[in-house]
Every structure is written in C-alpha cells, then in structure tokens.
Amino acid sequence: MVTARFLGNKFVRPLIERHEAKGRADGRAEERGLWIEWNSRRIEAEAAGTPFDEPPPHGQTSYIEPRRVHVEAATDRKRNKPTGS
C-alpha cells in the first residue's frame, strides 16, 4: 500500500494535474472565442443600425465536469474496504 501511494503521488497525481490544467486552458480559450465572435456580431449590428438581441454566450461552452481520481481508492477496493476509511 505504501508503494502504491508513493507511485500515485509521484507519477499519477502530477499527470492528472497537468491534464486538468490543459483542460482548463482549452476551456478558457473556447469561452474567449465565443465572446469574441459574439462581440463582433454585436459591433457589426450596431454599425449597421440593426437591433441586436442575441444573448451573450455566458455559460454556453461544452463544459464537462472533471473526473476526480483518488489514487488510494483503487487500493481500498482491492481489500473490499469502503473508500475513505
């Protein structure tokens, strides 16, 4: 169990954290792109004098809740113990 925890902390957890950070960066870029496109349409409509009633894109990204991985959980399942005990 000590070895599994060590390996999880040394290799698995940093890998998961890197992937989560990349996912957050990708999500921010996607959100920013939606806002830039929306603002361009708003400015064009304003310049043309046409009404612009499109709602802002807040919260319209394809957000998926990140999956939390607990490294010790796999070890606990092997021993048929509930996780967190």
Per-residue pLDDT tens digits for 7-53: 777 778 888 888 888 888 888 888 899 999 999 999 999 999 999 99
C-alpha angle 23/29/33, rounded to 5°? 145
Q: How far is 23 from 65, CA to CA, in rounded Å? A: 11
Instruction: Give the pLDDT confidence of 40-78 residue by residue, as tens digits.
Output: 999 999 999 999 999 988 765 555 555 555 555 555 555
Give the Cα separation of 48 and 59 in Å (integer).
28
- Report pTM: 0.51
60, two tokens:
């319209």
Q: What is the DSSP letter of 61?
A: S
Q: Which residue has the tokens 């960066």?
A: 25
